[in-house]
Structure 1
Amino acid sequence: MPKRNKVNRTWNSEGGGREGKKYYEHDDRVNDNIRRVSFKPGSNRIGNPRSGELDMAIRASIADDDVDMSTPGSSGRGSGRFNPYFGRGRFVGRGGRTSCRSSGNRRRPGRGSPPVPSQFSQKNGPDNTVSWFKVTIPYGGKYSKDYILKTLLASVAPTIFIPLRYEVRGSDSSFFVDDYNAAEKLTSISKKITTFKGFKLLVKVRPGLPHVEIDSTMKEKIKAAMIKRFNVNLKALDLSRFHTDPDLMDSYAVALFRPAMMLAVLDIVVENAPDLAALDLSDNKLYSLDNLSVLSTKLPSLRVLYIGRNRIRDIHQLDCLEGLRLEDLMLDGNPLCDKYQDQNVYVSEVRKRFPKVLKLDGVDLPPPILFDVNEDLQLPKSKGNYLCTEEGLNMVRQFLEQFYQLYDSDKREQLANAYHNDAMFSITSTYPPGQSSTTTSKLVNYITDSRNLLRVKDNGRRQKLLYQGKLAIIACLSKLPKTHHYPHTFVVDLTLFTPQLIMVSLTGLFLEPGPTRNEPLRSFNRVLVIVPYGEGYCIINEELFVTNATDEQSKAVVRTLPPAVMSPPTPAPTPVPVAVSPQAAFTDDIMKQQMVEGFAVQSGMNVRWARKCLEDSNWNFQQAVSVFTELNKKGTIPPEAFMK
């Protein structure tokens, strides 16, 4: 019985013999009767719409069927071949019709078959799925790298491509390209090139990315490549088409659209150039910017960002970069730019996210209209006191000095002459944020009479807490705790000064002396409306607010208080004297009196000798302490200095 496959069967089954007598190094024909691994269909098989798809996928995987990149002009004989990249579970059947059925005896395309559609049709999935392509040359390992690449480049000209990560495994060679058009062109020349050995060159192309393991060696290589791309003078780093860097392309695939790779690169940038001012990430096939959200915190000095010629589709993808204070932004070449026909709308959308952009896509923009304070300008320094006019300086100083000498005494009733007969007075009090009566000094003596309109809703009580007339006011002040004010903490604002009316706002700290050492420190604010009366002035309206001092205020007042007299002199800095300026001149006499009283208490001397010691020391408290300590050790201070 004759054999099924005759020995003298020609390469061209349609006749003509071995035309041209061209022999090939390998035979990639598919015999019609070659058995394929498949699940045996049975009559009781459960119908599964995905069974055919799974069957064909397994076959394609075992047979190593790469993506067929045949051009529409290609032809073949027999039914269409399953292509896992061209619609799931579908194959082109005889006559170009599609079917979802699997076929266990499907014929390989041959001459006379209907055209097979191009497998590089655009997909709706993420662009990175078709960004890179693996090009495999069976038996390419038998030729030099230089010969293979030069031959391919000459065959696809004028199209050019950059071979990435060229390697040889066994008898095959492979490399990657990142260009769709180049990949399609390489497919079209498969079996059309005759090598110098007389064999046809087979070119297989399929979508794919190389496996990359980010280790310390790779990071060092990346860092070395960055150094060559870094401009020290401009503090600018050029990472455009970084995967094609000559120092990386042969051994590594540094594809920045891969999240892990982008984060690794950014870590190197932040570690070595934290003050980076300009970064170019153009032409890296970025389809997402989420990994760049760290730029606003890790690179706060970044002002120039180029992300053009990538695959950013929507303006909202820039939202993750809003924290950057960009002045120059490049977006040109991204799909999102095609969505805007009106340039003004485009600029407006960008400035919603980066309001200080002055250059967009290489075009200078008009200065933006901003309502925030220019970050380069410094606010004027705050002043301790404010005087609307210098004319009121002496009057306010004398008035407050006399007022607090009486207020801190045991005879507050003498303040009656400081108030108008029809004067009105109210007090409010509350605890600072984070404090309460259970954790700090209680304010019950003030809260009882507090006329806080947000808390006191009853009109009758509101009226009762508004003290009217000098007698009612003095009675209220007399029942408040004793006080000891610190004039050096006073901040005075003279907001109005006319012959008919004067308004003064005073803020400061005072101590409530008591039998225990835990004397509460209070903060206060007094607003006084003063009018001329007879030959002097009197208060017609007053509002007093009292609360506990904050921790910062307590620490500040301790730093500015005179140090203990008996402590030995040390080289520690001397207390900063209160600056005598026109605004603060009215506190000078009170401050001196305060220093005398404090020096007298701590040294044990009487007020007269304490003042004499301070005057001889030119009111330098530290010098007075040093002199007193030295003379007291020698016993040269007369006994009458300690007599009170």
Structure 2
Amino acid sequence: MDAPSAANRNSRKAKRAEPNDPTATARSTRPAPTGSRAPRPNAKTQQIIQRVFNGTGGSLSSRIASGISGGAKAFKSTRPVNAPNTMTLQVQGLKSSKAASNEGGGLKELLTFLERKAQVVSKTARNIRIKKSSINGDFVYITASKEDAEEILKLNGFAFAGTSLNITEAPGDLPPASDNNMSSTALEVKDALRNVLSLRYDSGAKLLNLSSLGEDAGLNQMGFFSGESKPEKLFRALMAVCDGLFKTAQEKRAAVASVSLAGNSIDDVLQIMSLTETFPDLVNLDLSRNHFKDLKGLQKWRYRLRKLETLLLNENPIEAANPNYAAELTNWFPRLQNLSGIQVRTPEQVAAMEAAARPTPIPQHGADFRDINGVGEGFIKEFVSMYDVDRQNLAAKYYDNESTFSIAVINSSPHPQNNQPPGWGAYIKFSRNHNKITHTSTRIQRLFVGTNLIQSAWQQLPPTRHPDLLAEFNKYIIDCHPIHGLPDPSGASPVGVDGMIITMHGEFEDQEPGTIKTAKRSFSRTFLLGPGAPGRNPIRVISDMLSVRAFNPPPGSTPEPTVQPPNADLQQQMVIELCNRTGMTPEYSKFCLDGANWNFDQALVMFNEKRAQLPADAFVTTSQ
């Protein structure tokens, strides 16, 4: 908000300007108190304003719609802590720092330090932003989004201006906002600003009219028309007071849909940036009769006010300087329909754009298997069977010293509610899930390169049994596509060679280490196949990425019915019968039946498959 220049400041500008500069002459002779220029507070009042918007946060029982009334006592209620999606932190150390002697007690310097340092420490590209702050006694209370607050908490113990900061989450019952520490004059100013907002609010239209602030009688009486401080601080104070009127974002949306800032000589939205923080869901905004001359003055709002439908920029220099500004602003604000009185979109167009932007499921048309001379089919058939029974020779045949293998455990995937997912202890130490493993060194360590490392990793993974690929093909979804430009292992083709990419989705059963209990899991596996090196197998696996997750039937398949275990008496009979047939102890017989879901025939099959791997104590000792 570019407020009118005071006479003394204008005179200095006139002295620096060229003698024949008519613009400088006009600005130097313009009287400050008149006109629609935004007010500049004097030094004393400016200090009070600083305390006003740094000390906001008192929750009010009243709303703008019923007027902003009552004295200072009405605003000494306890502040809400950690509203939805926000977190309030308690920072100690400002008073003992060297910055405490700065103007405003060093609060601005502390907030800047916390925002910038948290962004550096978190290594994030987004800006860390503190939404609210206040000083109470030895503590500074700051409010930010939960995501940003968690990053700021990492600065606990960091040095700031010669002292160590102690940053913790604020207790649930914060003391009242800093009204307790404000002077009577400051309270009067704060109350007067509330009264200004009350007089400028139209509850029927949900309009907050902040136009022509320089002509406001209340602000004139308060002396906001001199001094060298920045004019946007007055607007920040108004927004801070206004922000304290509401406990939730929904209350803001219900009370204020439109704001007018017409006739305030604003030339850059940076001067009124706090508007988008206080009312981010604004629907209608009037910026007419200001000094916007180009899009640069509006640039900082490009990704804000995403629900704005009406924007008035009438009687701004930009209309003549850039006649094509409307097309750019229409792209900036996705719901904009009315720009300076001209319809730029219809409600139907807005609805169609929003519908097109919503994520939609990828259409499922079954597997897309585009094989080349049966290579893909032959590889899949051999791989599935050999992986279950002979992993060492499988790796030796299809993998070479440049082949890579990785596994990712997806332990948060959806699964049927009646099935408790098994544990991941045997897999987790190999998992390379990038959502969990963020350190580069660990990611490199868990990428297995070369036949020997791949064989070693496979040997440590639990034994598996996949459904028969031909008899139970409905339990798989397999896609195969040709791919071009792969590295030629022979080096003969500089443009690369052809290969294929195969993606499998399916299920398998594995065996927990140390027991014979089995668990069913879902998996996805992606292979990148290419020609083998001269003298080796004609097909090689360039890359093999496996992800495992809790069992969930693939789309289009029919889940197996849940088999209810027999009653206790029948279970006991089955255990005795299995002991007689296998020679196992009752304990291991029960393990075997439990792993087969109490299917006696399947338990016998499992016993015959795993008999050689069972320890000696699994069998009943025959007395001599």
Superposition TM-score tier, normalisation by shorter sequence: 0.3 to 0.5
Q: Larger C-alpha radius of gyration, 1 or 2?
A: 1
**Between Structure 1 and Structure 2, which shows a larger proportion of helix residues?**
2
Q: Taking structure 2 as the reference length, what is the TM-score of the superposition?
A: 0.41
TM-score (norm 1): 0.40
* Structure with more relative contact order (C-alpha pairs < 8 Å, separation 6 or more): 2
